[in-house]
Chain A
Amino acid sequence: MSEKKTGRYTRRTLGKLMAGLSVAACLTAPAFAQDAGTIRILISQSPWLNSFVALVDQYQKDTGTKFQLDVTPFGGMVDKMRNSVRAQQGSYDIININAQGLAEMYAGGFLKPLKQIDASFTLPDGVLDFGGSAYWNATKNSFDPKGELLGVPTNGNVLVLYYRSDLYKHAGLKVPKTWDELMANAKKLHNPPKTYGFVSRGTRESVLFDFSPVLFSHGGSFFADPENGDFSVTLNSPQGLQALETFIKLNKEVGSGNAGALEQAELIQLLSTGKAAQGTAVIAAVADLQDPNKSIVTDTIETALLPAGPGGKHASVAGHWMAGIPKNVPDANQKAALKFLKWFLQKDTQVAYTQAGGIPIRKDLSDTRLAGDPAYRFIKAFSENADVAKMNTPLKEGVRMKEVISLYLNRALIGEISPKDALNGAATEVNQILTAAGYKLTPPKML
């Protein structure tokens, strides 16, 4: 009790003090009053921002709803989001959450269940949810389609395969169905330093993401049964080892040779300058690769479903964004926000979104007016990959898991440790961390 009192007291004194100091600055500070009916959105500065802004403008014109977009560098998104949802009064009515931060936001209980705003709301058929990532089951601590609906996808970014149709034609190659075929293609095209057969990212920031589809398609997994809350570590399985060896072989033998330092920017640089014949990258890169100001392969870059593992299983990994509505904003704002999101999910809206350069969040757009247009030739590969896309570390400790595992993978990639040691090491450490965090786990079997 008394603690609360002093807390409020100091806060008030603080407020007065600062108010005094702020007089001068206020004269020049732009007004930041928020009128009712303004939807405040936190969104990342990214290539798809323009398309989102176009939709927002359209909605504003149609309905008169006002918007305030806080466009933030990608690196600052998580901080701003946390700061806002943890405060007593949030600064945003809609927050765009990257796949990686989803579990934290969901598990922290910061978001308003969408059905509490509008009991009749469900995700329409055809809207992607990327492995149940719109729902959260608080008892199992997992993304469970039977759990509570907390988010709406706003950007359907997934990993896809890129290849150069001109090089394929020249060498008489076909789109690879398996990783082995991809390897064979790459060997034919690999001619360093002029052309690299296959490129993917391998830094500590990104290696886990690009490795995930290889792992999944080889029948491997990070955790035993994440949908049902069993997070026993299964990374160091024979399938996992095979996957990692394939991944390393691709990057070593037919890759750029410096995968350990290859980040998104360099990867896209290699693709857009025609140095890479094939590669895995997010579908969001399409916009850049088809832009003549940014690429010399605009007409020859093609997308496809990621190759399958030995068992014929295809997989991709979700790097999408979900919109959530925080609890700590006024009811009226929440209602208005959901109304906007509902409109956003409609098929027509999504077609317009795609035409404006966005990555759609529906898989049923191939029968729309986008179909015949070569500029949207990526839609097919997008839908196929999105259909098999999963989250890689779907738990609230996800970011830490990612960093722990990534370091081992990155070290294996640059040859500091063997693939086997990497997987064993990662599994042991992850198991330790999760056990300490209170998860009940079966300890991982060492390779």
Chain B
Amino acid sequence: MAIRPIDAARIERANFWWRVGSLAPAIIVLALLSIWPVFNLGYLSLSDVKWVSGSAVVDFVGLRNFHELFTGEAVYWAGVRNTIVFAICAVTLQMIFGFTMALAVRRASKIGRSVLTAIFLLPIVIPPIVIGAMWRLLLGRDFGIVNALLSFLSLPEVDWLGDPRFALISVVIVDVWHWTPFVFLLTLAGLESLDQEVFEAAKLDVKNRWQELRYITIPLMMPTILITLAFRMILSFKVFDEVFLLTGGGPGTATEVINFSINRVFFAQDRVGMGSAMSLLTIFGVAVLIVLANTVVRRRRKQRETA
């Protein structure tokens, strides 16, 4: 069916406005509420803000905040180290547990599956602030249930939150408890969307379940796994609420995390200049990580394609 030129022009015009109009809300919301604050961060990171007789006095100090951040601020750097260790450990465990549970649940009977899914999703809906407070009680040294359980099994009790050697491990445990369901949810969806015919066809080639997992399921699931990994990594770099009530960053700097430093410098100490510098440096660091990861993934894909 041919379209008359006048109609075509009208449609073209409508379409142009549709394209503009459909993107506009997203752009306006982001521009209004996110770009200005970030410009603000950039500006503040080069300044020193003081409050005199009720109004702000902003001194331009160039890169002094960044210089200080690189030469001093040991707590922030301890936080960077901890956050990286935390993110890698927690996300790795979450991926393994979440994926395992997704595989297990997929095999379960229909009723079992929906009951299990509902149970697994419970932790996601508890406010993180509660998770921190409750686990602090659970992991408490003198009255905590976890230690009571250990002593019941005649294992040595552990000072989960007070011993610098265990504090970060405890935070990882709590985070794994909280966020494994997220990985579970996404990987389960991924698994169910896999093409069953591939499995049927492959049945002749693989000897056992393990091989099926190794050579078929995991390669097919790679996109899902990578996306989930990326989501979790980004979110675990933002970890804050749980640590807030669980350990408060201590003992010493054993569980200090980046967001904690930023929050304290920004809000408790009210050094907005340094806080902004920390935020920007963190963004930059994460951006570099993402670009690196992207390049690696792309290069590997290319290698595979040429091979």
Contact = CB atoms under 8 A, between A and B. Distances in A.
Interface in A1-38: 14, 17
A40 interface: no
Contact of B164 (A110, A256, A416): A416
Contacts of A275: 142
Interface string A258-302: 101111011001100101000000000000000000000000000
Contacts of A71: none
A205 B246 CA distance: 13
B277 to A, nearest CB: 15
B251 A78 contact: no
B51 A109 contact: yes
Contacts of B98: none
Given A261-B250, A407-B252, A109 B264 contact: no
Contacts of A260: 162, 164, 250-252
A327 B141 contact: no
B143 interface: yes
A224 B167 CA distance: 37
Contacts of B163: 258, 261
Interface string B227-254: 0000000000000000010011111110
A203 interface: yes
Given A399-B268, A399-B270, A403-B269, A204 B250 contact: yes
A109 B163 CA distance: 43
A416 B252 contact: yes
Contacts of A14: 32
A258 B75 contact: no
Interface stretch (A79-87, A157-165, A347-355): A79-87
Given A269-B143, A328-B54, A205 B252 contact: no
A265 B141 CA distance: 13
B252 A108 contact: no
B140 interface: yes
B250 A203 contact: yes
Contact of A403 (B32, B52, B55, B268): B268
Nearest to B157: A193
Q: Most A CB atoms within 10 A — which of B32, B75, B269?
A: B269
A225 B32 CA distance: 49
Interface in A389-426: 397, 399-400, 403, 407, 410-411, 414, 416
Contacts of B250: 203-205, 260-261, 410
Interface in B17-74: 32, 51-56
Q: Most B CB atoms within 10 A — which of A273, A397, A400?
A: A400
A256 B142 contact: yes
Interface string B104-148: 000000000000000000000000000000001000111100000
B271 A400 contact: yes
B54 A108 contact: yes
A203 B52 contact: no
Nearest to A417: B252
A328 B164 CA distance: 46
B284 interface: no
Interface in B242-288: 244, 247-253, 264, 267-271
A364 interface: no
A230 interface: no
Contact of A86 (B56, B252, B264): B56
Q: What class of interface size applies to chain B in its complex with A?
A: 20 to 34
Nearest to B247: A261
Interface residues of A, number: 41
Nearest to B249: A204
B90 interface: no
A298 B55 CA distance: 49
A270 B142 contact: yes
Contacts of B136: 265
A104 interface: yes
Contact of A110 (B51, B167, B268): B51
Contacts of A257: 159
Interface in B136-190: 136, 140-143, 159, 161-164, 167
A203 B140 contact: no
Contact of B54 (A78, A109, A265, A414): A109
Contact of A262 (B55, B162, B271): B162
A400 B73 CA distance: 12
A262 B142 CA distance: 11
A263 B51 contact: no
Interface in A59-96: 75, 78-79, 82, 85-86
Contacts of B159: 257-258, 261
B164 A414 contact: yes
B140 A414 contact: no
Contacts of B167: 261
Contacts of A414: 164, 251-252
Given A258-B159, A403-B264, A104 B270 contact: yes
Nearest to B274: A400
Q: Most A CB atoms within 10 A — which of B52, B54, B56?
A: B54
Interface in A200-225: 203-205
A115 to B, nearest CB: 17
Contact of B52 (A108, A258, A399, A407): A108
Contacts of B251: 203-204, 260-261, 410, 414
A324 to B, nearest CB: 12
Contact of B161 (A193, A261, A327): A261
A252 to B, nearest CB: 13
A379 B143 CA distance: 31
Given A258-B163, A403-B269, A416-B164, A266 B140 contact: yes
Given A17-B32, A109-B51, 9 more contacts: A203-B251, A258-B141, A260-B162, A260-B251, A261-B162, A261-B163, A261-B250, A275-B142, A328-B54
Interface of A: 14, 17, 75, 78-79, 82, 85-86, 104, 107-110, 193, 203-205, 256-258, 260-263, 265-266, 269-270, 273, 275, 327-328, 397, 399-400, 403, 407, 410-411, 414, 416
26 contacts: A14-B32, A79-B267, A86-B51, A110-B54, A203-B248, A205-B250, A258-B163, A260-B250, A260-B252, A261-B159, A261-B250, A261-B251, A265-B136, A266-B140, A266-B142, A269-B140, A270-B142, A273-B143, A275-B142, A328-B54, A403-B268, A403-B269, A410-B251, A410-B252, A414-B252, A416-B164
Listed from nearest, the 6 A-B pairs whose CB atoms lie closest are: A261-B162, A258-B162, A109-B53, A108-B51, A260-B251, A400-B269
